[in-house]
Amino acid sequence: MKNSAERLIWFKGDIMPVSEAKINVLSPSSQFGANVFEGLRAYWNDEDEQLYIFKLSDHINRLLQSIKMMRFECNYSADFLRQSVLDIIRANKFKEDIAVRQTIFLDGFGSWASTDPTDMFIAPIEKGRQYPVEKVGIECCVSSWERISDKSMSPKIKMGANYMNSRMGQMEAVRNGYDSTIFLNDQGKVSEGPGSCIFIVRAGQLITPPVTASILESITRATIIDIARNDLKLNVVERDIDRTELYIADEIFLCGTAVEIVPVIGVDRLPVGEANKGLVTQRVEQLYFNIVRGYSNEYKIWLTPVYER
């Protein structure tokens, strides 16, 4: 992995070392978190000598939706947004697993209600597994903070400011000796983690909150629903989940581009199932990593190769 000083980023149309990129301290982005972004991953496949970006077009679509909902004035085409991601990864010549942050931000000297000028940066960032691999799973609490809702700050918009709600929950969890947290929404139903969606297993059924449960419309969540139905032949249900169902679930895992798939082995100090990585979680995880790394021909349609071969 490159050290961060030599790492190149895409910044306002140029490719430059990260240390040279400067943003106005008075910009609405730096003052109020007025930006929208995507977090992508790309996985290196040794056999194919190829770096595969997972579901690039889905990320670009969601970025365009966030831009629209925030009423940012800009005219980026999907093709330009996709091509710029490829350009900056190629410029860095990465041959390893990477994460990429693509951010559209409100620049200049404006207020929280400005709609322009907007600009973009794309930064490949060092990121292995979020939690140490030797850890079987994580301990979570149910947050005393409520998840933001579509009535106030929509969790469907992947904007910087939303993560201050995540911050409150995550900091509380760590203060109290947990690894992470699970939010309830304004209806008191299970919503999501601070940067991930949630699945529980009950009696062999895979259950996840619906997209109306105050969640980000997660690309990993949609992937897992697809592959669990089509390949694992599991019964997958999108429905509200009660807090107490977390206490009696057989298995729970969090999912997202960054966290990938992480078993939750305890909630509020009650063990989840055998407090181990459950069978369903193992099967989903194995299939997911096969697909993202490019070992499944059937699912290569979800991958964008970075290098020409």
Q: Is 219 in the site for ligand PMP (CB under 6 A)?
A: yes
For the beta sheet containing 303-305, the strands, ordered from the edge strand earlier in sequence to the opposite edge, are 14-17, 8-11, 118-125, 98-106, 35-45, 50-54, 303-305
Q: Is 28 in the site for ligand PMP (CB under 6 A)?
A: no
Interaction mask 227-246, ligand PMP, x per CB under 6 A: --------------------
Interaction mask 83-112, ligand PMP, x per CB under 6 A: ------------------------------
Q: Is 304 in the site for ligand PMP (CB under 6 A)?
A: no
**Is the distance from CB of 109 to CB of 27 less than 8 angstroms?**
yes
Interaction mask 252-281, ligand PMP, x per CB under 6 A: ----xxx-----------------------
In angstroms, give the least distance from the CB of 195 to ligand PMP. 4
In angstroms, give the least distance from the CB of 91 to ligand PMP. 24
Distance, in Å, from the CA atom of 58 to the CA atom of 37, rounded to the nearest integer, reads 13
Angle CA 83–65–99, to nearest 5: 50
User: Which phi and psi (to 5°) does residue 11 adopt?
Assistant: -140, 115
How many residues bind to ligand PMP according to rule CB under 6 A? 13
Q: Is 218 in the site for ligand PMP (CB under 6 A)?
A: yes
Of the candidate spans 13-21, 71-79, 111-119, 217-225, the one that interacts with ligand PMP by CB under 6 A turns out to be: 217-225
Within 137-196, the residues that bind ligand PMP by CB under 6 A are 192, 195-196
Q: Is 216 in the site for ligand PMP (CB under 6 A)?
A: yes
137 closest CA partner among 221, 245, 218, 249: 249
Distance, in Å, from the CA atom of 145 to the CA atom of 217, rounded to the nearest integer, reads 20
Residue 299, both tokens: 């699912």
In angstroms, give the least distance from the CB of 99 to ligand PMP. 10
Distance, in Å, from the CA atom of 201 to the CA atom of 232, rounded to the nearest integer, reads 14
Q: Residue ranges of the alpha helices (H) in 236-303? A: 243-248, 279-292
Of the candidate spans 10-18, 93-101, 214-222, 269-277, the one that interacts with ligand PMP by CB under 6 A turns out to be: 214-222
Q: Is 208 in the site for ligand PMP (CB under 6 A)?
A: no
Contacts of 74 (CB under 8 A, 6+ apart): 67, 104, 116, 118
Local structure of 62: helix, strand or coil: helix
Q: Is 39 in the site for ligand PMP (CB under 6 A)?
A: yes
Of the candidate spans 102-110, 138-146, 215-223, 237-245, the one that interacts with ligand PMP by CB under 6 A turns out to be: 215-223
Distance, in Å, from the CA atom of 55 to the CA atom of 42, rounded to the nearest integer, reads 9
Residue (28 or 39) nearer to ligand PMP, CB: 39
118-125/98-106 β-pairing:
antiparallel
Mind telling me the catalytic residues?
158
Query: In the complex, which residues of this chain contact ligand PMP (CB under 6 A)?
Result: 39, 192, 195-197, 216, 218-221, 256-258
